[in-house]
């Protein structure tokens, strides 16, 4: 008997690495999804089945879940991976951009969860893995709206884990630090789109953009997507998965620093990194 694994957002990065890794398991049938199936054709060659899925579209989400249920009875494992970073200052970022990010990062995740839970309950169990971020535990400047979406994922995951435990449904949260994918480039692009060449935050935006590029290139501060895929595999296959998986040593250090030292000290550390950014 195989278990059906539905993964959102597999056209690149963490989702793609996870689909490839899980497709090697003979007891897992992996459904790799993207808005356009041609973006995941190579995953089909690697052993995954492919489906069109847009987590901002109700009919698309329902159709994908129904397609898996038609073949397997239900989705046994849901990996909520789809998401992206919208960067910019709180003042300068347009709220339409913020709404689009929350539609993908939060509401899409929530709706996919709602759609798979009836089948999991009827089957007597299941797994849900939400891909959050270390950015759900601490905040950097010009990332406030992205961080807000990941803080929301933290809250939803904690509530869900308790609510579905009586139905033998296990829920884990994966919190990557900096992962060497296109995420950093996307974040830089969105920052460029919201920030003017001049203005009250011009220096801050320039420093943040430079640091984002440098940190994502650093092999000391970042890790490959395969590292996250391994954690997701553990959350899916182990009898007692962890509630949280913080990925990369740098992320673990930052999360603990923020937790132990508090807001004032963490703000002081940030000021040393972003010094001289105010006009």
Task: Please tell me the distance from the alpha carbon of residue 14 to that of residue 67, in angstroms, as a whole number.
Answer: 23
Q: What percent of the chain has pLDDT over 70?
A: 92
Domains of the chain, earliest start first: 3-273 (3.40.50.720)
Cβ atoms of 57 and 32 within 8 Å: the answer is no
Could you tell me if 146 and 209 are in contact, meaning their C-beta atoms sit under 8 angstroms apart? no
Identify the residue with better confidence: 58 or 200.
58
Q: Model confidence at 193, in pLDDT bands (50, 70, 90)?
A: low
What percentage of the chain exceeds 90 in pLDDT?
81
Which of the four pLDDT bands, split at 50, 70 and 90, describes residue 214? confident
| All residues at 6 or more sequence positions from 75 whose CB lies less than 8 Å from its CB, including other chains | 4, 5, 6, 65, 68, 69, 116, 119, 120, 126
Q: Based on the residue annotation, tell me whether 201 is a catalytic residue of this protein.
A: no
Q: pLDDT digit string (tens) for 44-65?
A: 999 999 999 999 999 999 999 9
**DSSP per residue, 40-59:** GHHHHHTT-EEEE--TT-HH
pLDDT at 182 over 70: no
pLDDT in tens, 120-171: 999 999 999 999 999 999 999 999 999 999 999 999 999 999 999 999 999 9
Q: What is the mean pLDDT of residues 232-242?
A: 98
268 pLDDT band, cuts 50/70/90, is very high
pTM, two decimals, is: 0.93
Q: Distance between CA 250 and CA 247 in Å, rounded?
A: 8
Catalytic residue among 31, 145, 146, 245: 146
Q: What is the residue-wise DSSP string for the chain?
A: --EEEEES--SSHHHHHHHHHHTT-TTEEEEEEESSGGGGHHHHHTT-EEEE--TT-HHHHHHHHHHHHHHHSS-SEEEE-------S-TTTS-HHHHHHHHIIIIIHHHHHHHHHHHHHHHHT-EEEEEE--GGGT---TT-HHHHHHHHHHHHHHHHHHHHHGGGTEEEEEEEE-EESSTHHHHHHHHHHHH--SSSTTHHHHHHHHHHHHHHHH-TTTEE-HHHHHHHHHHHHHSSS--SEEEESHHHHHHHHHHHHHHHHHHHHHHHHHSTT---
Q: How many CB atoms lie within 10 A of CB 71?
A: 10
What does the alpha-carbon distance between residue 229 and residue 105 come to, in Å, rounded to a whole number?
19
Q: How confident is the model at residue 181 (pLDDT cuts 50, 70, 90)?
A: confident
In the predicted model, what is the mean pLDDT of the chain? 92
d(CA 133, CA 245): 10
């Amino acid at each position: 008997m195989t278990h059906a694994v539905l993964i959102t957002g597999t056209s690149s990065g963490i989702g793609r690495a996870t689909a490839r890794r899980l497709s090697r398991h003979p007891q897992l049938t992996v459904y790799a999804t993207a808005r356009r199936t041609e973006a995941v054709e190579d995953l089909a060659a690697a052993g995954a089945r492919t489906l069109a899925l847009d987590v901002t579209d109700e009919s698309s989400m329902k159709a994908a879940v129904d397609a898996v249920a038609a073949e397997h009875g239900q989705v046994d494992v849901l990996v909520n991976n789809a998401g992206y970073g919208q960067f910019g200052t709180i003042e300068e970022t347009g709220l339409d951009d913020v709404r689009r990010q929350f539609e993908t990062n939060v509401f899409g995740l929530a709706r996919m969860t709602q759609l798979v839970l009836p089948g999991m309950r009827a089957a007597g169990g299941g797994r849900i893995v939400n891909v959050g971020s270390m950015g759900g535990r601490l905040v950097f400047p010009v990332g406030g709206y992205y961080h807000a979406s990941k803080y929301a994922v933290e809250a939803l995951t904690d509530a869900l884990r308790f609510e579905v435990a009586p139905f033998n449904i296990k829920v884990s949260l994966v919190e990557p630090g900096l992962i060497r994918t296109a995420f950093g480039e996307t974040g830089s692009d969105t920052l460029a789109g919201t920030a003017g060449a001049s203005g009250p935050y011009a220096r801050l935006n320039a420093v943040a953009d430079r640091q984002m590029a440098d940190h994502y290139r650093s092999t000391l501060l970042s890790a490959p997507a395969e590292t996250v895929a391994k954690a997701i595999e553990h959350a899916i296959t182990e009898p007692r998965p962890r509630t949280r998986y913080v990925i990369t040593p740098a992320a673990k250090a930052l999360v603990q620093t923020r937790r132990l030292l508090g807001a004032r000290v963490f703000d002081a550390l940030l000021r040393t990194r972003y010094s001289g950014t105010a006009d």
